[in-house]
Amino acid sequence: MAENGNGNVATENGLAKIQTQKQKALNGICHDDSGPTVKAKTIDELHSLQTKKSAPTTPNTGSSTPFASLSEQERQQLQLQSISASLASLTRETGPKVVKGDPAKSQSQKVDHVHHVHVTPTIAVSDSALKFTHVLYNLSPAELYEQAIKYEKGSFVTSNGALATLSGAKTGRSPRDKRVVKDDVTESELWWGKGSPNIEMDEQTFLVNRERAVDYLNSLDKVYVNDQFLNWDPQNRIKVRIVSARAYHSLFMHNMCIRPSPEELENFGTPDFTIYNAGKFPCNRFTHYMTSSTSIDLNLARREMVILGTQYAGEMKKGLFSVMHYLMPKRQILSLHSGCNMGKDGDVALFFGLSAMEIGYGFCSHFLIILMDFLFILLEKKTGTGKTTLSTDHNRYLIGDDEHCWSENGVSNIEGGCYAKCIDLSREKEPDIWNAIRFGTVLENVVFDEHTREVDYSDKSVTENTRAAYPIEYIPNAKLPCVGPHPKNVILLACDAFGVLPPVSKLNLAQTMYHFISGYTALVAGTEDGIKEPQATFSACFGAAFIMLHPTKYAAMLAEKMESNGATGWLVNTGWSGGSYGTGKRIKLSYTRKIIDAIHNGSLLKAEYNKSKIFGLETPTAVEGVPAEILDPVNAWADKDAYNETLLKLAGLFRKNFETFTNYTIGKGGDNLTEEILAAGPIF
């Protein structure tokens, strides 16, 4: 070693060795007096100096609310009173006394029993009212990581920084266990009966389940509370409160909902909707309307949702989506299960297409839904319509990947995050999702190396339905805030395994409504799944499992908004050409991208069109970069008779499916489907 010019000793590699400056010794101890002395006598006091108050936020919300004039103590008191009221069951005036903070970091609370000696117990007093429940309120991802790893078995930090966790026995939604309270209002407003996802329950049964969930949450030493928003449109956003027992659920909703700024959290007030997630605790199977130990219950009058017997986080996300499908149309706002992106010039496109869960619901009856979580997730990779792939375009901004609203202000994302399938995920095929899986992301039910903590996305040991939940700002081309002008193009995606639909068709308004209501795609699989030929499946509005009103309500709103804003409807087939599955070939993704590009840039509007028989679809004669012979499906088939036979078969399946909606009476008004929509279907 040698001393350099600064008096520091140089090491062999040339870097200076850091030395403590020579200072006067105090009682023989060297110390750095360049800053004030830290006055902390305990480690807890020292930690208190390290932290400062903050709240997790969604960046660039485009709006702010002034701070409340209340003092911090008064604001916290009001907040705790509000949460306490939420946790109060119906048989007592208040729930347990709620306090902020982690009980592991707090001094034990002492209850003076002397004051209760001469009090006669009443219905408003219970043991739970004499205990303290700690409320962990809007914790940050780092805090929730600590909670999950410390208290929830099966939670680990992976090599990419994400939190890997397990959802328990249920690794997917349980649609057969979802119930909606049928009362005097919802009886006439909601879609009930054949084809509907809404299975009824009465008010009394809901209250029984609510009491069970709330009592369970009250019995815990601590609960997690998230106060967040839905809908990026500031004029029409919804305030939601999620009360849960798991840090994993709190982090999941932190990512999926819109995160308030500190200012917005100050004035959050009373939520518009509340979820009681007691999923670790089962429902009573002998309660009326229960078919298993799982129950997901919606009460639209009370603006509440109760979850029992399932820890799958997707129930909260999709439950709130169902709520938005009810609340938004009341404001003349159309709620949509779609992807959405925007070009550099401000042109917005909506993408509709079925995913695994929606395919399963459309194919199964209520009695067969039990097969959905297993069978149709297996089929997803072979029947994907391409909604996520085609709405993700590096040349365009992503407004959202799943749930949107279309109001008089334009389009807005409902959520603050993305919930991506990650089975067989690779950096090459899905770089955006791959890079979004980092600190703050929740990884559900994935398998990873015990030592390196590297995730094996191809491992299906736990489930095929592995998922990643992350904030939308983790996507590099996300548009923040997630709002845009009125859409110019509405793209309906179908994976037609029969091979008779054109790669692209321009739709008039009636056809758009017809195909939107139909929500068609087709299932294909290998012989191992027992399906050797295409199976048509339909899911109304491309999301039948989540809609609350009759499909024609949403279709009519879609047509009205398209007409008033000059939007064009398109039907894009991402399936087979030149024959059905097994004979023909899947349409190349590069061709489909060329078609989507032509829709975006407006060139397809200027093309020449021919009208197809049976379905009456307008098909272009030429699209740049796409072989002309596949644009009219019959030209790509060697066996023309087989084509005609298959075309008639598919048309018959469309007609049979639409019988569900024909002459359906909507509420007490007696509104029926118009002849115009019926005429837009196949004509034999």
- Catalytic annotation present for 355: yes
CB atoms within 10 A of CB 78: 13
Q: How far is CA 6 from the centre of its chain?
A: 59
Helix axes 314-330, 551-565, angle to 10 degrees: 60
Q: Give CA–CA dist 557/243, Å, rounded.
A: 34
Q: What is the dihedral of CA 355, 357, 362, 365, to 10 degrees?
A: 170
- Catalytic annotation present for 75: no
**Choice among 176, 237, 337, 488 that is catalytic:** 337
Q: Is 504 helix (H, G, I), strand (E, B) or coil?
A: strand
**C-alpha distance from residue 93 to each of 84, 100, 221, 243 (Å):** 10, 21, 20, 19
- 242 phi-psi bin (left φ>0, alpha ψ -120 to 50, beta other): beta
Q: Which of 252, 232, 541 is nearest to 413 (CA)?
A: 232
Q: What single string gives the DSSP state of each residue in 462-481?
A: S-S--EEEEEGGGSTTB-SS
- Catalytic annotation present for 388: yes
The answer to whether residues 145 and 163 touch, using CB atoms and an 8 Å cutoff, is yes
CA distance between the termini of the chain = 93
- Catalytic annotation present for 467: yes
Q: Give CA–CA dist 679/684, Å, rounded.
A: 11
The string over 298-326, giving b where at least 16 C-beta atoms fall within 10 Å of a residue's C-beta and e elsewhere, is bbbebebbbbbbbbbbbbbbbbbbbbbbb
The answer to whether residues 101 and 133 touch, using CB atoms and an 8 Å cutoff, is no
- Catalytic annotation present for 402: yes
**Choice among 134, 317, 387, 600 that is catalytic:** 387
The answer to whether residues 295 and 523 touch, using CB atoms and an 8 Å cutoff, is no
Q: Which two tokens stand for residue 494?
A: 């179908």
Q: Give CA–CA dist 677/684, Å, rounded.
A: 16
Residue 572: how many CA atoms within 13 Å on its side-chain side?
A: 34
**Choice among 170, 173, 325, 561 that is catalytic:** 173
**Choice among 58, 165, 167, 355 that is catalytic:** 355
- Catalytic annotation present for 600: no
**C-alpha distance from residue 87 to each of 94, 278, 429 (Å):** 8, 12, 45
The residues annotated with a catalytic role in the active site are 173, 318, 337, 355, 387-388, 402, 467
